[in-house]
Every structure is written in structure tokens, then in C-alpha cells.
Amino acid sequence: MRKNLNVIAAYSIMMGLIILVGIFQSWNIALSIFNLCLISAVMTMGANIQWGYAGLINFGIMGYTALGGLAAVLISVNPVQEAWSAGGSNILFSLFLIIGMVLVVRYVLKKYEKSKTRTYIIATIIILGIIIIRFVSEPGIEAIEEIEPAKTGFLGGLGLPIIFSWIVGALFAGGLAFVIGKVALGLRADYLAIATLLISEIVIAIIKHEDWLTRGVKNVIGLKRPAPYEVNLQQTDWFINLVEKFNSSKLNLISDFAERQAALNQFVIEGSSIFVKLCYSGLFLVVVIILLILTQKALYSPWGRMMRAIRDNEEAANAMGKNVVKQHLLIFVLGSAIVGIAGAMLVTQDGLFTPGSYRPMRYTFLIWVMVIVGGSGNNFGAILGGFAVWFLWIEAAPIGLYLVNLTTAGLDDTHALKVHLIESVPYFRFLMMGIGLLLIMRYRPKGILPEKIEIK
Amino acid sequence: MDFLNAIILLLNYIFVPALAYGSQLALGAIFVTLIYGILRFANFATGDMMSFGTMFAILFTWYFQSIGISLGVLPTALLAIPFAIIFMIGYMLLIDKFVFKYYRVNKSPPVQLAMVSIGVMFVTQAVVRIIIGPSDRRFFDGEKFIIKAGEFKEMTGLNEGLAIKSTQVLTIIVTLILVSTLFWFLNKTKTGKSMRAYSDNEDLALLSGIDPKKIVMITWIIAGILATIGGALYGLDKSFKPFTYFNNMLPIFAAAIVGGIGNPFGAFLGGYVIAFSEILLTYAYRKFFMYVLPESMEPGGLVQLLSTDYKFAVSFSILVIVLLYRPSGIFKGKVL
């Protein structure tokens, strides 16, 4: 109990802060912060597995998040029948061609010794393949994008409940990570960082511009929900009764019937959106807890010890007969899959998929700040980092505004400097993140909750 | 005649823009490569440092414009750049003193320095946005074109026009002067040689009496000059927007690595490799083939290898291929 005191203290402070937001701003804001904190926590757990357990830098988090989001679209949206009949066969045929191309390249790689000729043959196969695939897919893509471009213009998905996409998102992200890992994991740390950052940009470029698959920058809106809709809730009897019971003390103060009914309506509307958010919180909490149990188990298992051994001294681990390359690939895939789950969760919560919103600042670097600040190698630390940094990211604007008002209190309200500063309040969050990261790196390089390995 | 037209077409849409864009990338790539070679970390704050320098260039330009100083046909920004460089160098040395020095003295692993540079990236981005705001700024003045497309057509009687913007010529000339001075400095002067020695083998350099503090300071000063000029030229040619500068970090990294990180000459050429391949692969060659081929063989489509949406993706793919087959870059930089 004693040794976990700092963990409990840190989490109580965090919860207390969110409750304070609930009391002073509104419960709606507090809950939406809490939900995004949970999603961030899942992302940081993914990044933490790679960085904390194995020392692999992955700056491609944005790419996996976006793939998870894409999974949510492809699973939950109803299939667009006209588009399938217009261009589906072309797309399927191109898919077969791609698979065929990969198989041929694999065959060439296996069959022949490494030589210049082999490289040229592979290059020719790939270039020819791309040209043939473009030839085949072009008419299909055009046909698909022409079908009601304002509403659909893409193939749609499978029409399944969106919750399945959390698993599929993990598979997508894991698959991408497998390919990237095969290609890039041999690189030294900072090159790996740059390579993954650039590859994630390529993924985003594809998602943004392949309209037949993702609708691109036209966005997909109105995705299915795992939680009830507010409008439906507001008309259900049991929910109205529940809200009435909750607020009975306030409602009893109002004697007039019409006024009481109006107040009740207000409570029901507020309550419905809080209820929906609570549903999401419950779902997300289940994911976070399952992942936490699994990652904790992994950390203290022989496998976790081996990962730390590889991280701390690759050569020694190699000499002990551990397959470093294979384990690196495995952990790279696992961590990325977890980030993919988070991406699908994020789109599920928002109910919309906007490829244009995926930017490295928010989805890669911010997650890294969370991991470093929270404590790399420690799952509780990573989750705490997700909570604390996201909380600060959202509340930075009010804090910044307060600070600006405090420091410029002596100035007139129309003073140019004051107006300018108040306009630029949104950017104080970058400043706080940067200074926070620099201070933590300098004075507490292992994070708020540092890695602590107990030998049981 | 048709053949001439085709050449002018390529010059106008591919060669001149790629040369200008490549020069801008080259300056950034040399910046990355110098920091990597001498201070030994990948600087993720590159794009934002460039926007920081450009911001001062813009502020000084505005100041000069307000008091009525101008350079006539040349942009006023040229006059502002030296002042911006002074501020930029001050900022760089300040950051080094308070942030990077600690890790350098403690001999932290490069990864940790890269993380620290992310912190610097956040702070610099915030400072730039707080001071000048996130929106698009144009600060170009003076004569816009050296040759206008219409004038060129009249002059030569060709169908295709060739437009050369003064900023493009300016970019190329300034880059050439700056880069040749830099290479002269690195190869001929004593300080430059000691910098290269330090980059090659730190311990040996220290043994032979090279002062590391001086080397680091000079590196930051050169980096500040490169970042400010590179950023300001990009801003003059296109426009200044903090977010674009942040994004430019990616092709700049690609250029530095393609050229062989740690090797300034490689970085210089890498900038052009990236710029030309981006533009060559995404240009629609339909008109070119209409001029070159006989009428019966005219192409139906746009004859575009990749849509322009994938401009960035091209340079990143090149990078991935280079990393796979020649991890030390085309021109042999530091071996991984």
C-alpha cells in the first residue's frame, strides 16, 4: 500500500481536477474531457509499450489513429449498393492484382539470390503493376465517385455495429505496423523516428485523397453509435422518471406546474447528453481496464523481462539467444494495434470521420508528450500522462486567459497589446506543453510516475 | 518550333519552380545536417525555427515599410534579413544555453535530445503564433516578374510563355552565394576545418585542442543564418504561414537524409533531388506530348504519373527507398 501511495495520490488529484471542472464549468465539459482522457490513455499505453518496454521510437501514431478511424467507417457505414454495382468489380479485381503483385515479388525474393538484377526485376514488376492497376481501377473509381458525390460517392462499409471496428481498427493498425516494421525497424533510433513520421504522413495523404474508399476531405458524418441518441432518450419514460428522481429536491421547490414542467424539460435535455457521455465513459473505461490488466501482466511476465533486457542491452540479449528483430517487430505491431483501437474509439465518440483533422501536432507529438510526462515504462504513469496532458491541453485556454488578464490588469481594455494577447490565448497551450515537456525532461526525466520494477 | 515550345513548357512549369523550391529545401537540409553532424541529434524544431526567423524578417520589413525605406525593384525583406538574423542567432544561443547544453554536457543519448527538440518545437511554435498569429502573411514588395509570360511570347513568337518571378531568381542566387561561402568556410578556414574534425571524431578533435564551446556556438550561428534566409526566401516566394513551415520540416528531413545526413554537400543536392522528383512525378505531361508527338499519337488522358495530392508522399517514398537500399544516403553521410 505504502509504495503505491504516489500513484493513488496522483490519480486522486487528477480526478479531483476533473470534478472541479464539473462543479465550476459544467458536467458536460468535465465528462467530455474525461472521455478524451480515456482515449488518450489508450493511445499512450500503445506508445508506452513501444517506447517504455522496448525503447522503440514510433512517431507514426497519427497514421495508426487514422487507420483505426477508417476501420470505424468501413465497419459501420451501410454499403452503397449502386457504387458496388458501378465499380465494385474493378476495385475487387485491382485488389486481386495487388495481392498477386505482392506474391510475385515474394516469389522473386525467395527464389533468387540478392543481386542487382533481382532489384531491377522487382522494380520493374512494381512499376508495371502500378500502371496496370491504375488502368484497371481508374474507370471503377470514377464510376464510384460519380454516384451522388454530395451524399455518398464511396463504397461504404459493411453495415455492422460500430463497436466491432475497435477490433478491426487494431487489426488494420497492426497490419500497417507489420509492413513498416519489416521495412524500417533496422534503422537507428532517430532515423526510425523520422521514417515513421513520414510514413504516417503518406498514410494520411492516401486516406485524404482516395475518395472512393474514405470520401476523403468530404468527411463521413452521422456514423452509428453504440450509445442511445439524446433525442430518443428525451422521450423515454424511464429516463424522464430517473431525471425527475435525481432532481426532485430542486423540482419540489417550484410550485407552479407549468414552470416545474419547463424546468424538468431543461433537466432532461441536459441529463440526456450527460447520460450519453456516461455510456461512452463506461465503454472506454472497460477498454482501458482490460488493456491495463493485459499490459501489467505482460510487463511482469518473463516476456516483459526479456523486452527490458533487449531495451537495456540489445547485444547482450542477442547473445543470450533472444531474437531481437522478431521481438521488436512483435512489440511494434502490438503497440500500434492498441493505438488503432484508440483511433476507432475516437471516431466512434465523435460520430464522424474527418481525414483533414489528422495532424502530427495533435496525434503524434502530443501523445509523446503524454508518455514522457507521465512516465515511460510505467503503465499507470502513461495513463496519468494521458489524463494530465489532455486536461491541460483543454484547460490551457481558460488558464491562459486568466494569466493574460492578471498580467495586463493595469492596461486599458482596448490597449492593442492586451487585445492581441487575448486573441492569441489558444496558442498558450503549445507554450504550456513545450515548457512542461522541457521541465519534465530536465528535472524528472523518468516522468511523474517513474518506471519501478519489482522483482517478485 | 514545336520542340522549342515543349522545352519552354517544361522550363516554365518544372525546371524553374523546382530549382527555386529545391534551393529553399537545400538551405533547410543543410541546417538539419549541420545540427546533426556537430550537435548529434535530429532537430524536430527545424520548421518552427525557420518560421521564427522569418517572423523577424517580416516584422522588420513592416517597420522599414512604415518609415518609408525600400529597395526599389528588390523586396524590402532583403534589407530586413540581416537584422532578423541577429535576433535569430540570439534566440538560438539562448535555447542552447538553457535547453540543449545540459544534455550535451551530460552526454545524453541522441534520442533524448530529439525529444527535447520537440519541446523546443512546441515553445517556438507558440511564440511565433502569439507574436504574429497563425494566418497567411505576404511581405513581398518590389518588382514581381523578371520575364512575364506575355512579354516572352511577344519577344520570341512562341506559343508557350516563360514566366520567371524575381523571387525565384533571388532565391537561386542567394542560395548559391550562401552555400558556396559555407563550403569555402568549412573547407578552407581553420574554424571550418575544426568543425569538420569535431563532427568526424569528437574525442580526437578535443585531444587536438579544439574548443567544443566555440564549435557549438559557431554551429548555432551558421544554423541561425541558414534558417532565417531559407525561411525568408520561402516566405517571399510563396507566403508565410506557421503551419506550412512546420510541415516543410518533413521534405527538409527527407532531403537531408537522401543526401546523407551529416554531409552538407549531400544535403544541398538532396534538396534538389526531392524538389525535382516531387514536381516531375506529379506534373501532367499532356501538353508536352501534344507538342512532341505527331497528331495521330496524341495522348487522351492527362499523362500524369501521380495526382498532385501526393506531392509530399513522393518525397517520403523516395526517402523510404533510400533508407532501405542506401541507409547512409546517396552521397555517403554518417553510416547508421
pLDDT digits (tens, 9 = 90+) for A329-374: 999 999 999 999 999 999 999 988 999 899 999 999 999 999 999 8
Tell me, yes or no, if A289 comes closer than 8 A to chain B by beta carbon. no
Chain centre to alpha carbon of residue B102: 29
Tell me the pLDDT tens digit for each residue of A256-283: 888 888 888 888 888 888 999 999 999 9
More confident residue, B276 or A236: B276
Domain hosting residue A387, numbered range: 2-79+156-443
Boundary-marking domain end, from A155, A187, A221 = A155
Cell output for A414: 482596448
Tell me the pLDDT tens digit for each residue of A187-200: 877 888 888 998 89
Give contacts of A369 with chain B, Cβ < 8 Å: 118, 122
Helix axes A189-209, B311-325, angle to 10 degrees: 150
Q: What is the mean pLDDT of residues B136-146?
A: 85
Q: Residue B316 is nearest to which of A198, A435, A438, comparing CB atoms?
A: A198
Which range has the worst mean pLDDT, A301-305, B93-97, B226-230? A301-305
- Backbone φ and ψ of B165, nearest 5°: -80, 150
Three-state DSSP class for residue A408 = coil
- Backbone φ and ψ of B145, nearest 5°: -115, 145
- Whether A336 is covered by a domain: the verdict is yes
Which range has the worst mean pLDDT, A45-59, A243-257, A294-308, A368-382? A243-257
Task: Indicate the DSSP class of residue A79.
Answer: P
Say if residues B217 and B16 touch (Cβ distance below 8 Å).
no
Tell me, yes or no, if A428 comes closer than 8 A to chain B by beta carbon. yes
pLDDT at A146: 82
Tell me the pLDDT tens digit for each residue of B148-199: 888 888 888 788 888 888 899 999 999 999 999 999 999 999 999 999 889 8
Question: CA triplet A382, A388, A394: central angle to 5 degrees?
Answer: 130
- Neighbouring CB atoms inside 10 A of B129's CB total 22
pLDDT at A349: 92
pLDDT at A416: 84
pLDDT at A375: 84
Three-state DSSP class for residue A220 = strand
Size of interface A-B (CB pairs under 8 A): 120
Tell me the pLDDT tens digit for each residue of A221-255: 888 888 888 888 888 888 888 888 888 887 788 77
Tell me, yes or no, if A148 comes closer than 8 A to chain B by beta carbon. no
Q: How many CA atoms lie within 13 A of A57 on its CB side?
A: 22
- Whether A150 is covered by a domain: the verdict is yes
- Whether A34 is covered by a domain: the verdict is yes
Same domain, yes or no: A65 and A146: no
Three-state DSSP class for residue B240 = strand
Same domain, yes or no: A116 and A68: no
Tell me the pLDDT tens digit for each residue of A13-38: 999 999 999 998 888 899 999 999 99
Asked whether the predicted pLDDT for residue B336 surpasses 60, the reply is no
Strands B145-147 and B164-165: antiparallel
Cell output for A30: 468535465
B309–A205: do the CB atoms touch at under 8 Å?
yes
Rounded Cα distance between A422 and A412, Å, is 13
Helix, strand, coil fractions of chain B, as percent rounded to 5: 75, 5, 25
Whole-number Cα distances in Å, A134 to A9, A129, A178: 58, 8, 25
Question: CA triplet A266, A272, A278: central angle to 5 degrees?
Answer: 140
Asked whether the predicted pLDDT for residue B305 surpasses 80, the reply is no
Q: ipTM value, please give it.
A: 0.89
Rounded Cα distance between A191 and A211, Å, is 32
Asked whether the predicted pLDDT for residue B137 surpasses 50, the reply is yes
Say if residues A68 and A340 touch (Cβ distance below 8 Å).
yes
Asked whether the predicted pLDDT for residue B256 surpasses 50, the reply is yes
Same domain, yes or no: A374 and A313: yes
pLDDT at B334: 55
More confident residue, B154 or A443: A443
pLDDT at A388: 93
pLDDT at B174: 95
pLDDT at A455: 53
In the predicted model, what is the mean pLDDT of chain A? 88
Same domain, yes or no: A170 and A116: no
Tell me, yes or no, if B177 comes closer than 8 A to chain A by beta carbon. no
- Neighbouring CB atoms inside 10 A of A393's CB total 21
Q: What is the mean pLDDT of residues A136-155?
A: 81
- The band of A3, judged by pLDDT with boundaries at 50, 70 and 90, is low
Same domain, yes or no: A221 and A338: yes
Question: Which segments of A112-209 does DSSP mark as H helices, in order?
Answer: 116-146, 165-184, 189-209
CATH class of this structure's domain B2-325: mainly alpha
Give contacts of A191 with chain B, Cβ < 8 Å: 42, 257, 323, 327, 336
Boundary-marking domain end, from A111, A137, A155 = A155
Same domain, yes or no: A299 and A262: yes
Rounded to a whole number of angstroms, the distance from the CA of B146 to the nearest CA of chain A is 35
Give contacts of B134 with chain A, Cβ < 8 Å: 427
pLDDT at A2: 59
Helix axes B311-325, A165-184, angle to 10 degrees: 50
Name the residue with cell 494569466.
Answer: A403
Asked whether the predicted pLDDT for residue B335 surpasses 50, the reply is no
Asked whether the predicted pLDDT for residue B332 surpasses 70, the reply is no
Q: How many CA atoms lie within 13 A of B200 on its CB side?
A: 10
- The band of B72, judged by pLDDT with boundaries at 50, 70 and 90, is confident
- Whether A166 is covered by a domain: the verdict is yes
Question: Which residues on neighbouring strands pair with residue B71, listed in sequence order?
Answer: B74
A365–B118: do the CB atoms touch at under 8 Å?
yes
* Stated pTM of the model: 0.91
Say if residues B315 and B278 touch (Cβ distance below 8 Å).
yes
- Whether A455 is covered by a domain: the verdict is no
Same domain, yes or no: A111 and A239: no
Mutate to test the interface with B, among A176, A194, A361 (most CBs of B within 10 A): A194
A435–B119: do the CB atoms touch at under 8 Å?
yes
What number of helices (H) and strands (E) belong to chain A?
21, 0
pLDDT at B62: 92
Same domain, yes or no: A291 and A374: yes
Same domain, yes or no: A393 and A435: yes
Most confident of A109-118, A126-135, A192-201: A192-201
- Whether A450 is covered by a domain: the verdict is no
Cell output for B179: 552555400
- Whether A244 is covered by a domain: the verdict is yes
B336–A430: do the CB atoms touch at under 8 Å?
no
Asked whether the predicted pLDDT for residue B6 surpasses 60, the reply is yes
Cell output for A105: 515479388
A219: left (phi over 0), alpha (psi -120 to 50) or beta: left
Tell me, yes or no, if B241 comes closer than 8 A to chain A by beta carbon. no
Same domain, yes or no: A131 and A269: no
Tell me, yes or no, if B41 comes closer than 8 A to chain A by beta carbon. yes
Tell me, yes or no, if B150 comes closer than 8 A to chain A by beta carbon. no
Q: Residue B119 is nearest to which of A195, A429, A438, comparing CB atoms?
A: A438
Cell output for A70: 477508417
pLDDT at A454: 59
A190–B110: do the CB atoms touch at under 8 Å?
yes
Most confident of A62-76, B62-76, B199-213: A62-76
More confident residue, A68 or A188: A68
Rounded Cα distance between B36 and B266, Å, is 13
- The band of B1, judged by pLDDT with boundaries at 50, 70 and 90, is low
Mutate to test the interface with B, among A198, A211, A439 (most CBs of B within 10 A): A198
CA-based nearest residue in chain B for residue A183: B324
Tell me, yes or no, if A312 comes closer than 8 A to chain B by beta carbon. no
Please state, for a pLDDT cut of 90, what percent of chain A lies above it.
Answer: 39
Q: With the C-alpha atoms ordered B245, B251, B256, B259, is the resulting torsion angle positive or negative?
A: negative
- Candidates B172, B316, B187; CA nearest to B264 is B187
Rounded Cα distance between B198 and B256, Å, is 19
Interface of B with A in 92-111 (CB under 8 A): 99, 102, 109-111
Boundary-marking domain end, from A155, A173, A194 = A155
Same domain, yes or no: A262 and A116: no
- Give the DSSP per-residue string, B162-183: --EEHHHHHHHHHHHHHHHHHH
**Number of domains chain A is built from:** 2
Rounded to a whole number of angstroms, the distance from the CA of A263 to the nearest CA of chain B is 43
Tell me the pLDDT tens digit for each residue of A404-427: 888 888 777 778 888 888 888 889
Same domain, yes or no: A137 and A64: no
pLDDT at B326: 77
B312–A199: do the CB atoms touch at under 8 Å?
no
Chain centre to alpha carbon of residue A429: 20
